[in-house]
Amino acid sequence: MLKNYFKIAFRNLLKNKIYSFINIAGLAIGMAATILIGLWIYDELNYDSYFKEKDTIAQMFQHESSNNVIGTGPAIPRPLEFAMREEFADNFEHIIMSSWNYSRYIGYGDKNINVTGNFMQEGAVDMLEINVLEGDKNSLEHSNVIMLSKEIATTLFGSENALGKMVKINNEHTVKVTAVYEDLPENNSFNGLKYLMPWKFYVATQEWVKNSKDSWGNNSFQMFAQIKDNTTMETVSSKILDIKKRNAPEEAEFNPEIFLFPMKDWYLRGDWENGVQTGGRIENVWLFGIIGTFILLLACINFINLSTARSEKRATEVGIRKSIGSQRGQLIFQFLTESFLIVCLAFAFAVGIVILSLNGFNNLASKTIEFPWASGLFWILAIVFIFITAVLAGSYPALYLSSFNPVSVLKGTFRAGRYSALPRKILVVTQFTISVALIIATLVVMNQIQHSKDRPAGYDKEGLVQIPVMSSEFTGKQDLMREQFIASGGATYMTTTSSPTTSVWSNRGGYTWEGKPEGFQENFAHTTVHYDFVETLGLKLIKGRGFSRKFATDSNAVILNKTAVKYMQIQDPVGKYISAENPDSDMIPLKIIGVVDDMIVQSPYTPVKQAMYVFESYGNISYYNLRLNPNNSVSKNLELIENTFKTNFPNIPFDYQFVDEEYGQKFRSEERVASLARVFTALAIFISCLGLFGLASFVAEQRTKEIGVRKVLGASISQLWILLSKDFITLVVLALVIASPIAYYVMSGWLQKFPYRTSVGWDVFAIACIGALIITLITVSFQAIRAATANPVKSLRTE
């Protein structure tokens, strides 16, 4: 019986090639999109699954409030470690102090490469189950050693044995390679861990780290932990909550609360707002999950519409089968079998499409997803997916077709009833509602990104280059280098900064000033800078002046941004002083010499933070910032700068970044969402149009005779074209009317998460509406015009 059904299904497919193509292509594209989204979601949900202990690993996080706003983050002070070990050691399998993920130069022979990694305490290897391929698993217990990932070991030593090799770190320290570990995959939070060095070494070699042993106020470190199996994150969190407050009463005014942030939340739920976890990437998972479902739904709607539209052709078969003994259930089963077959075929094509497009998709989504050939789970889900799709697409046609009365069908008087097209119309409206809503949503996302890109950055990002100079060989060379860079003609200005132009590495408080409100808990973005800061960055001075060599006192001067002035509630700031709140402090009061316009350093979606730019006098220099010479080409400038650099630092690789590119990184994640959304919206439109095309050809075929008669009676081609197209246009207009308010509502909500945001303007709707109408017209007109221009004599004779 099944064989008989399959035979019929196959022959039907072959007989109606256009119809089959539309059905299978639509379903295949829809399924491919859904599979890609499914793989993407799976990858997102399995971020950090490399770590078998994912459920028991956590990072220490801290809430701190100032001016009644709670900030949350991973930075913790060093003494927390000692208190934690003393008071709560028995709750933990591991407590591990760690540095941030920094890049350092690792040199061997004439190679010197820039590598990111961490300094961590012993136990890290055990906790993260880092797979040590050769050498000592317990390397971190020692001091002058380094563990390298396989990739880095191969880059440095080629096929030579890495163990026992001596390498230079930042051209300063020589350490021994004592272990090589398997590279960590991309989709985990430690993917930047390409070397591992002992925490001990960090403390021993970095003066400021050594000195921070008792500084509860110096939140400059990270701490990871693995809890014991017999306890939970919540229990431990509740125990350690007040550990900092108890041990450091002087910090109590910020109400510091320490808690465990579980690894399973790191990637997906990493957003905090005023002390409350507010989500994160999980929202994109939902977003694309919904889009994927919609696209599949669109493809199923095509199937449903085309099957029911063609029902008159299948009606006779239903009548015959009923008259020779088929029950309705058997017919339902037959039609479901048919949709199952088509869905299976479509799935095979979908797999092909996925394989062909996976590379491009990975680029777009910046992922490294591979097709899961060997995954049993995937194939089980695939079978479930095929069944769901087959039932979704096939149920309605099966119920509808099997319901025909054999007598009326076989009498030949069968005409699908007057309202039989209604469900079809509703489905077309649904399809276009979804497509149009997706168009509007994508446009709003793109607008928001453009809007934020157009936001004045407050400085001149173009022609600005930064060179990281954190190793000690650069110490004290900044004035010499400035002279040489400018003399080389490659740069017109240079200044130094303690953090890159595109982020804030230090936030500070503990100041006072004339007119400071009672109990005000200030917190400034704190950057130390040098002469020509204003000129190099192209900042706009609102009041006062920049740092100048003409004023010896500028070594104790500060420049504020506009927001800081408002924030401090200080009148006529220029000439006033900012001094330490603590009267015992030896900090020399800072004279405010100027106010600059706000410059976007952090997120382009949020208001600019109050910032102070303090004159550099302690050698805290992380970057040289150079304004390229506008009279030369960029490449010429870079050549001059590199030559100058090389003459002075022959052993250090010349590393630099364009500030505008770094700035562009801030839009990366939104742009990624936007480009994925664009692709899937295009697919949704394509699938909907494919269905519309099918319906249009069906209607044109059905009305061939009518068109012939009208033509003989004198109807013009354009009249016939309008006749055949207007029904579809009406449906799409209806879809526009439904989609617009829904999209408006949803996208206004989405925009709320960006403090700096665009509005959902009428232009977005205009573009979406006109676009949808044009596409619809093109799609249906093809069939309409073909039918309208056909020779009427021919079509009438076939009756």
Name residues contacting another protein, limited to 433-492 (CB under 8 A): none
The Cα–Cα gap between 174 and 166 comes to: 6
Residues binding another protein: what is the number (CB under 8 A)?
A: 24
Of the two residues 326 and 781, which places its CB atom closer to another protein in the complex? 326
Only one of the segments 166-174, 317-325, 491-499, 617-625 lies at the binding site for another protein (rule: CB under 8 A); that segment is: 317-325
The Cα–Cα gap between 116 and 128 comes to: 17
Question: Bridge partners of 276?
Answer: 273
Selected binder of another protein within 166, 407, 587, 766 (CB under 8 A): 407
For residue 389, count other CB atoms closer than 10 A to its CB. Answer: 27
User: Is residue 8 involved in binding another protein (CB under 8 A)?
Assistant: yes
- Shortest distance in whole angstroms from residue 400 CB to another protein: 19
Of the two residues 327 and 585, which places its CB atom closer to another protein in the complex? 327
List Cβ neighbours of 713 (8 Å cut-off, separation of 6 or more): none
The secondary structure of residue 588, as a DSSP letter, is: P
Of the two residues 20 and 357, which places its CB atom closer to another protein in the complex? 20
User: Is residue 322 involved in binding another protein (CB under 8 A)?
Assistant: yes
Residues 169, 102 contacting (CB under 8 angstroms): no
What are 571's two structure tokens? 């009148």
Only one of the segments 48-56, 353-361, 402-410, 637-645 lies at the binding site for another protein (rule: CB under 8 A); that segment is: 402-410
Selected binder of another protein within 103, 330, 563, 603 (CB under 8 A): 330
The Cα–Cα gap between 315 and 323 comes to: 12
Selected binder of another protein within 136, 317, 473, 671 (CB under 8 A): 317
The Cα–Cα gap between 256 and 63 comes to: 6
User: Is residue 321 involved in binding another protein (CB under 8 A)?
Assistant: yes
- Shortest distance in whole angstroms from residue 9 CB to another protein: 9
- Shortest distance in whole angstroms from residue 797 CB to another protein: 19
Only one of the segments 3-11, 36-44, 395-403, 748-756 lies at the binding site for another protein (rule: CB under 8 A); that segment is: 3-11
Closest by CA to 44, choosing from 676, 605, 603, 662, is 676
Cα separation values, 630 from 433, 541, 633, 663, 677, Å: 51, 21, 7, 20, 39
Of the two residues 328 and 453, which places its CB atom closer to another protein in the complex? 328
- Shortest distance in whole angstroms from residue 326 CB to another protein: 5
Of the two residues 380 and 407, which places its CB atom closer to another protein in the complex? 407
The Cα–Cα gap between 392 and 509 comes to: 60
For residue 114, is it left (φ>0), alpha (ψ between -120 and 50) or beta? beta
Of the two residues 341 and 628, which places its CB atom closer to another protein in the complex? 341
Only one of the segments 4-12, 262-270, 567-575, 658-666 lies at the binding site for another protein (rule: CB under 8 A); that segment is: 4-12
Residues 332, 55 contacting (CB under 8 angstroms): no
- Shortest distance in whole angstroms from residue 331 CB to another protein: 10
For residue 518, count other CB atoms closer than 10 A to its CB. Answer: 4
User: Is residue 411 involved in binding another protein (CB under 8 A)?
Assistant: yes
The Cα–Cα gap between 625 and 627 comes to: 7
Strands (E), 392-520: 464-468, 491-497, 507-508, 511-513
Of the two residues 314 and 482, which places its CB atom closer to another protein in the complex? 314
What are 30's two structure tokens? 């829809």
Of the two residues 238 and 327, which places its CB atom closer to another protein in the complex? 327
Of the two residues 407 and 717, which places its CB atom closer to another protein in the complex? 407
- Shortest distance in whole angstroms from residue 677 CB to another protein: 43
- Shortest distance in whole angstroms from residue 19 CB to another protein: 14
Residues 579, 522 contacting (CB under 8 angstroms): no
For residue 767, count other CB atoms closer than 10 A to its CB. Answer: 14
User: Is residue 412 involved in binding another protein (CB under 8 A)?
Assistant: yes
b/e code 190-217 from CB counts within 10 Å (16+ = b): bbbbbbbbbbbbbbebeeebeebeeebb
Selected binder of another protein within 277, 327, 503, 748 (CB under 8 A): 327
Name residues contacting another protein, limited to 10-29 (CB under 8 A): 11-12, 15
- Shortest distance in whole angstroms from residue 14 CB to another protein: 9
Closest by CA to 728, choosing from 421, 434, 440, is 421
What are 142's two structure tokens? 């020692």
User: Is residue 324 involved in binding another protein (CB under 8 A)?
Assistant: yes
Mark 274-313 with x for binding to another protein (rule: CB under 8 A) and - for no binding.
Answer: ----------------------------------------
List Cβ neighbours of 704 (8 Å cut-off, separation of 6 or more): 787, 790, 795, 798
Selected binder of another protein within 166, 252, 320, 778 (CB under 8 A): 320
Selected binder of another protein within 287, 410, 722, 733 (CB under 8 A): 410
Only one of the segments 318-326, 573-581, 693-701, 785-793 lies at the binding site for another protein (rule: CB under 8 A); that segment is: 318-326
The Cα–Cα gap between 370 and 777 comes to: 40
Selected binder of another protein within 38, 406, 691, 792 (CB under 8 A): 406
The Cα–Cα gap between 564 and 598 comes to: 9
- Shortest distance in whole angstroms from residue 329 CB to another protein: 9
Of the two residues 14 and 377, which places its CB atom closer to another protein in the complex? 14
Residues 439, 773 contacting (CB under 8 angstroms): no
List Cβ neighbours of 211 (8 Å cut-off, separation of 6 or more): none
- Shortest distance in whole angstroms from residue 323 CB to another protein: 5
Selected binder of another protein within 116, 143, 155, 316 (CB under 8 A): 316
CA of residue 575 relative to chain centroid, distance: 45
Interface residues with another protein (CB under 8 A)? 1, 4, 7-8, 11-12, 15, 316-317, 319-327, 330, 406-407, 410-412
